[in-house]
């Protein structure tokens, strides 16, 4: 048993947390730049180089693996699977499929229309739309790397619960009349999903890695830059006053700042990590990450093309409220996780 737990710790430290890389960059910063990590500049340079390399390694490996799995679940297939299930089971399955169906805010319109045309209840579609950007396999692994297994699993579980409850509420409110008229007129077309060969899947996954790196590299660098600034340049006292545990509005503020931001989990993590290391509550940090990934200005604008303002407002309000509640709960029970 002891051996197994040692092995697990080693794997987690060396592979997921990449302590070897941290040590390597440390000796690089100390010997090549002649900077000490104890000093501000050295600490920031280390944070910047180490986090950037770590995120790009994780991003490449994870996107490849995840894309390979996702290639089995195109949205057309998800639609078919969800079409046969009603009630809360549908919401749960919708939330779960959201984690493995490839998603970007640009495809939310066709997915929304397609699901609607297939006769899926609005609530199930929203369970899917909440969970899809919020939780996926990549976020589980990358959170493990940065925050450890407990927090990662908790994040995924509460993310799924938020998606199920959010969808269920939208279902109960019977908001179908607030879907844009033209959306309801589009007929369902079943399309046969062509099976890909293994080499097709590999080349698809490679392509996804390339596209993702191309799409997010700037966000990652900005995120790491902000993270490095928080880490070493913004005084602890300011961070504590603004988002620290003594400020009762910290979670609200983190959520409000996160919602309009458009970035994926890879760009958000360095900021979250730096805040966490500065002693900001885990609930506040998670609220920020969830707000950034689940809701963003571009995705809200996209959705506004298929639903009327009332439904859009209800959707944003439910998700935002859920994120705030999750934040306060995590802060209250943080002793279980940290």
The yes or no reply on residue 298 touching another protein (CB under 8 A) is no
CB of 174 to another protein, least distance (A): 25
Q: Which of 57, 191, 297, 301 lies at the binding interface for another protein (CB under 8 A)?
A: 191
| Closest to another protein by CB, 100 or 325 | 100
d(Cα 315, Cα 108) in Å, to the nearest integer? 14
Helix, strand, or coil (residue 337): coil
| Closest to another protein by CB, 109 or 141 | 109
CB 68 within 8 A of CB 102: no
d(Cα 338, Cα 150) in Å, to the nearest integer? 8
The yes or no reply on residue 301 touching another protein (CB under 8 A) is no
The DSSP code for 104 is -
The DSSP code for 16 is I
| Closest to another protein by CB, 193 or 338 | 193
**270: number of Cβ within 10 Å:** 27
The yes or no reply on residue 98 touching another protein (CB under 8 A) is no
Q: Which of 9, 19, 203, 304 lies at the binding interface for another protein (CB under 8 A)?
A: 203
- Which residue's structure tokens are 């929304």? 112
List, in order, residues 6 or more apart from 10 with CB less than 8 Å away: none
Task: Return the residues of window 101-160 that contact another protein according to CB under 8 A.
Answer: 102, 106-107, 109-111, 113-114, 117
Q: Which of 207, 236, 241, 277 lies at the binding interface for another protein (CB under 8 A)?
A: 207
CB of 185 to another protein, least distance (A): 9
Q: Kindly state the greatest CA–CA separation across the chain.
A: 67
| Contact map string, positions 46 to 85, toward another protein, x by CB under 8 A | -------------------------x--xxx--x------
| Closest to another protein by CB, 172 or 195 | 195
Q: Which of 5, 38, 194, 309 lies at the binding interface for another protein (CB under 8 A)?
A: 194
Strand segments (E) across the chain: none
The yes or no reply on residue 189 touching another protein (CB under 8 A) is yes
The yes or no reply on residue 253 touching another protein (CB under 8 A) is no
The DSSP code for 107 is G
d(Cα 29, Cα 14) in Å, to the nearest integer? 20
List, in order, residues 6 or more apart from 236 with CB less than 8 Å away: 278, 279
| Closest to another protein by CB, 103 or 330 | 103
| Closest to another protein by CB, 112 or 288 | 112
d(Cα 68, Cα 201) in Å, to the nearest integer? 6
| Closest to another protein by CB, 188 or 240 | 188
CB 47 within 8 A of CB 230: no
| Residues contributing to the site for another protein (CB under 8 A) | 71, 74-76, 79, 102, 106-107, 109-111, 113-114, 117, 182, 186-194, 200, 203-204, 207, 211
């Amino acid at each position: 048993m002891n051996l197994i737990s040692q092995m697990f710790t080693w794997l987690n430290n060396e592979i997921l947390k990449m302590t070897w890389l941290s040590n390597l960059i440390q000796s690089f910063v100390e010997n090549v730049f002649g900077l000490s990590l104890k000093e501000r500049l050295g600490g920031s340079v280390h944070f910047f180089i180490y986090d950037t390399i770590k995120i790009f390694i994780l991003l490449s490996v994870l996107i490849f693996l995840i894309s390979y799995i996702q290639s089995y679940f195109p949205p057309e297939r998800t639609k078919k699977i969800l079409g046969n299930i009603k009630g809360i089971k549908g919401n749960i399955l919708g939330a779960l499929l959201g984690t493995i169906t490839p998603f970007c805010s640009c495809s939310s319109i066709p997915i929304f229309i397609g699901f609607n045309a297939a006769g899926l209840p609005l609530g199930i579609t929203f369970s899917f739309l909440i969970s899809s950007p919020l939780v996926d396999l990549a976020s589980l692994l990358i959170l493990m790397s940065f925050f450890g297994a407990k927090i990662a699993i908790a994040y995924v579980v509460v993310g799924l619960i938020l998606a199920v409850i959010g969808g269920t509420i939208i279902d109960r409110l019977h908001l179908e009349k607030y879907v844009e008229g033209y959306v309801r007129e589009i007929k369902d077309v079943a399309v046969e999903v062509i099976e890909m060969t293994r080499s097709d899947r590999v080349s698809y996954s490679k392509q996804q890695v390339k596209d993702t790196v191309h799409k997010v590299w700037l966000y990652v660098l900005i995120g790491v830059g902000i993270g490095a600034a928080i880490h070493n340049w913004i005084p602890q006292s300011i961070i504590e006053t603004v988002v620290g545990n003594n400020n009762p509005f910290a979670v609200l503020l983190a959520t409000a700042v996160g919602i309009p931001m458009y970035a994926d989990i890879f760009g958000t993590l360095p900021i979250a990590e730096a805040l966490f290391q500065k002693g900001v509550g885990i609930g506040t940090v998670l609220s920020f990450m969830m707000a950034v990934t689940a809701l963003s200005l571009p995705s809200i604008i996209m959705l506004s093309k298929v639903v009327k303002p009332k439904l859009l407002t209800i959707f944003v309000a439910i998700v935002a409220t859920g994120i705030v509640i999750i934040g306060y709960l995590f802060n209250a029970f943080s002793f279980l996780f940290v």
